[in-house]
Amino acid sequence: MSNSRRNFLKKSGLVGAGILASTTVGSAQHEGHVPAQPQPRTDVGQVTSDGNVLVHTPDVPKLPWTMEGGVKVFRLTAEVVKTRINPMREIFAWGYNGSVPGPTIEVNEGDRVRILFQNNLPEATTVHWHGLEVPLQMDGVPFISQPMVEPGGTFTYEFTLYQNGTFFYHSHMAMQEMMGMIGFFIIHPKDAYAPHCHKDFGLILQEWALLPNNPVPNSLAMEFNWLTLNGKAGPATTPMIVKQGERVRIRFVNLGMDHHPMHIHGNQFYVTGTEGGRIPESRWFRENTVLVGVAQARNIEFDAVFPGEWMLHCHLPHHMMNQMVSMVGPMGMAGQGVQTGKGMEEGMGIVKQGHALSKDMAPGLGRGMGDTTEKERNTSNLVGPSPHLQQNNLKETDKKRVPGYPQDMVMIMDREVAKPETYGLPPGWTASMMGMMTLVRVLPPTQYEEVMRRIRERIIEAPAAIPAGHKHG
Ligand SMILES: [Cu+2]
């Protein structure tokens, strides 16, 4: 570490083990010309001199900045991003600076910011600053507030931040939004929020319609088969690590076609902020599920007093799955009857004959008007037995007589998603993690220090063996 950066750290009053967050990288760059580095994940819980804890957006980097004449200058580039949302799925999304969602912008109330925007997409775009009170010329709406930024073109956004809270930036072209073009814009308050939170996390909620063997999302679809938090579908989401006794803030942002009821296990929380800023404490009340509507932000806070691996997930059943219903239903289906979800293509609105509300199509798409109920049958389909659910002596032929069988399948991929943050999770944990799901790991001090050490030293250990009968081939 250079002297100038060390001095800067002292001056700024940052606590921690000398690990830099992007805000400090930016300032150090100005003072000591230290090249920008990727944001280390070990800045979790760092507190700035003004008492705000730095936000941590798992799996999403922060956007570095340089200080130029009292202005924080960011470079934001729209581009196609090849990204793996899950070990089973690699996609071509659209994002910013190689990331989907785009990198997190983290700034302070009172800052003046300049965003040098470059469009590397093959079509025009703009950037809208969602929730920010900026001059109309900076609002990022094509033709109404600014000219389109053509392919290869640039635009400079510059404004002063008078607000604080959870905001975001996104393309103001609808289909581009559905290709992934959104990122956090977090403004810390001049006077730190009370009570103090030791950890501050951010999660962006997104939906994807991915046809078989096609890595390009269908942005026109009305049905979605992949659901992500910060660009990862469970179990590829990175668990959030908390020490028992700490107070935790989690910020949600939703930009998609659906609203997501985000639910936490084993804890009650308060909703302490919206896309408009902080909620007065007199209006807080206990909840464990918060509906994060489209275009909304919600901050939750709770004291993590109970140790455990607490699930945090959207509670819409179809958002708790990967590849959703079309995988379970028709692909192994034979004969007459209502096909759950129809084919993948029909399920996503690509209807080749008739229409989605027709007698033939509607029931299988979950939009039946009761016309074709006589077509229904006891068993939903002829999917082969799941290798993970053969824990009893029932013959497959007997199971088929059970109305509704089969419904759920599980897939274990502990090894494929192993990272320092997953150290110590019970074998097979990944079977319960699909879609818009992640974990808040509230760890007793010793266990917490061990996981944090593994994050710092980037130790990835092969997961413990999975119990017999549960192996995924
Ligand atoms: Cu949802």
* Full DSSP string of 313-345: EE--GGGSSSSHHHHHTGGG--SSS--TT--HH
Residue 42 or residue 8, greater confidence? 42
Question: Residue type for 126, please?
Answer: T
Q: Ligand 1 centre from 225 Cα, in Å?
A: 11
- Is the pLDDT assigned to residue 123 strictly greater than 70? yes
Question: Ligand 1 center to residue 213 CA distance, Å?
Answer: 24
pLDDT number for residue 403: 76
91: number of Cβ within 10 Å? 22
What's the average model confidence in pLDDT over 66-84?
Answer: 97
Cα–ligand 1 centroid distance for 257 (angstroms):
10
Question: Residue 125 in contact with residue 76, Cβ under 8 Å?
Answer: no
List the CATH code of the domain at 3-195: 2.60.40.420
Q: Are 412 and 466 in contact (CB under 8 A)?
A: yes
Mean pLDDT along residues 225-252 = 96
Tens of pLDDT, residue by residue over 463-472, are: 877 665 544 4
pLDDT of residue 379: 39
Distance 291 CA to ligand 1 centre (A): 9
DSSP structure class, residue 451: H
**pLDDT at residue 336 greater than cutoff 50:** no
Q: What is the pLDDT of residue 214?
A: 83
Cα of 259 from ligand 1 centre, angstroms: 6
Q: Is the peptide bond before 235 cis (omega within 30 degrees of 0)?
A: yes
- Expressed in angstroms and rounded, the spacing between residue 352 Cα and the centre of ligand 1 is 28
Q: If you measure from the C-alpha of residue 311 to the centroid of ligand 1, how many angstroms do you get, rounded to a whole number?
A: 14
- 186 CA from centroid of ligand 1 (Å): 23
Those residues whose beta carbon sits under 5 angstroms from the ion ligand 1 are 260, 314, 316, 319
The per-residue pLDDT for range 160-209, each reduced to its tens digit, is 999 999 999 999 999 999 999 999 999 999 999 999 999 999 999 999 98
Please give the distance, rounded to the nearest whole angstrom, from the Cα atom of residue 205 to the centre of ligand 1.
Answer: 8
Ligand 1 centre to CA of 42 (Å) is 29
| Span from the CA of 318 to the centroid of ligand 1 (angstroms) | 8
DSSP letter, residue 390: -
Cα(85) to ligand 1 centroid in Å equals: 16
| Angle at the Cα of 287 from the Cα atoms of 285 and 290, rounded to 5 degrees | 115
CA of residue 469 to ligand 1 center, whole Å: 31
pTM of the model: 0.81
CA of 133 to the centre of ligand 1 (A): 29
Residue 348, pLDDT above cutoff 60? yes
CA of 237 to the centre of ligand 1 (A): 15
d(C-alpha 97, C-alpha 129), whole Å: 17
pLDDT for 369 equals: 53
**At 188, which helix (H) or strand (E)?**
strand 182-188
Ligand 1 mean position to 314 CA, how many Å?
A: 5
DSSP string, 342-388: --HHHHTT--SSS-TTSTTTTGGGT---STTGGG--SS---PPPPTT
Looking at residue 7, what is its pLDDT? 40
Distance 256 CA to ligand 1 centre (A): 10
Expressed in angstroms and rounded, the spacing between residue 200 Cα and the centre of ligand 1 is 22
pLDDT over 60 at 22, yes or no: no
Q: Which of 268, 262, 128, 267 is nearest to 203 (CA)?
A: 262
Number of residues that this document lists for the chain: 473
Query: Contact, 291 vs 270, CB < 8 A?
Result: no
Average pLDDT over residues 26-55: 55
Residue in this structure with the two tokens 């959703």, named with its chain if needed = 324
Q: List, in order, residues 6 or more apart from 32 with CB less than 8 Å away.
A: 2, 3, 4, 5, 8
Measured N-to-C along each axis, helices 22-32 and 3-12 cross at an angle, to the nearest 10 degrees, of 120
Domain ranges of the chain: 3-195
Q: How far apart are the CA of 16 and the centre of ligand 1, in A?
A: 36
The C-alpha atoms of residue 30 and residue 423 are separated, in whole angstroms, by 38
Alpha carbon of 459 to ligand 1 centroid (Å): 32
Residues 119 and 150: beta-carbon distance below 8 Å: yes
CA 207 / ligand 1 centre spacing (Å): 8
Whole-number Å distance, alpha carbon 260 to ligand 1 midpoint, is 4
